[in-house]
């Protein structure tokens, strides 16, 4: 798993985003990815937003993460939790211990394959405890459910 995360980071370091997007809900294209972004959801003063894309490789997952990190609206975000499923799954908590595992479970439970997801959190000053995992999993599941290209899996 560490090797996969190292591959993600090295691919992200080489990637230059070619898309212009403001992080608003909807569809964005970052060659060769078609990214779906959900709405920003506020839970206990923290904000959460999910992004998802079909991928063919770990480097595609890294492109998604790098693109989401570079969005102007995400400059003050505190965490970029991520997970992807190819043949095997991988995830990263980005300091939000256990969040990547929650996301990976949502991807698997909804029957996803060849997909990467990033949930962005802007910390609102309130320690949420277990509610943060419900929020992280909830925004991701909501995006998958409301996105026809992902919910039919």
Domain range summary for the chain, segments of one domain joined by + = 2-151
Tell me which fold the domain 2-151 belongs to: Ribosomal Protein S5; domain 2 (3.30.230)
What is the rounded distance in angstroms from the CA atom of residue 58 to the CA atom of residue 81? Answer: 15
- Residue 45 makes CB contacts below 8 A (sequence gap 6+) with 124, 125, 126
Give me the pLDDT at residue 90, please: 78
pLDDT in tens, 47-105: 999 999 999 999 999 999 999 999 999 999 999 999 999 877 778 788 888 899 999 99
Give me the pLDDT at residue 32, please: 74
Give me the pLDDT at residue 47, please: 96
* Residue of higher predicted confidence among 153 and 68: 68
Say what the pTM is.
0.73
């Amino acid at each position: 798993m560490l090797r996969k995360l190292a591959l993600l980071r090295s691919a992200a370091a080489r990637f230059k985003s070619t898309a212009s997007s403001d992080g608003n809900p909807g569809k964005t294209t970052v060659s060769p990815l078609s990214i779906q972004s959900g709405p920003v959801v506020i839970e206990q003063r923290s904000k959460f937003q999910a992004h998802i894309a079909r991928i063919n490789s770990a480097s595609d997952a890294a492109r998604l993460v790098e693109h989401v990190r570079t969005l102007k609206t995400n400059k003050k975000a505190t965490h970029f939790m991520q997970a992807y499923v190819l043949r095997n799954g991988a995830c990263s908590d980005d300091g939000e211990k256990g969040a990547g595992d929650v996301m990976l479970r949502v991807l698997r439970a909804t029957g996803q394959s060849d997909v990467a997801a990033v949930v962005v959190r802007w910390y609102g000053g309130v320690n949420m405890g277990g509610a943060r995992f419900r929020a992280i999993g909830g925004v991701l599941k909501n995006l998958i459910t409301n996105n026809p290209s992902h919910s039919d899996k």
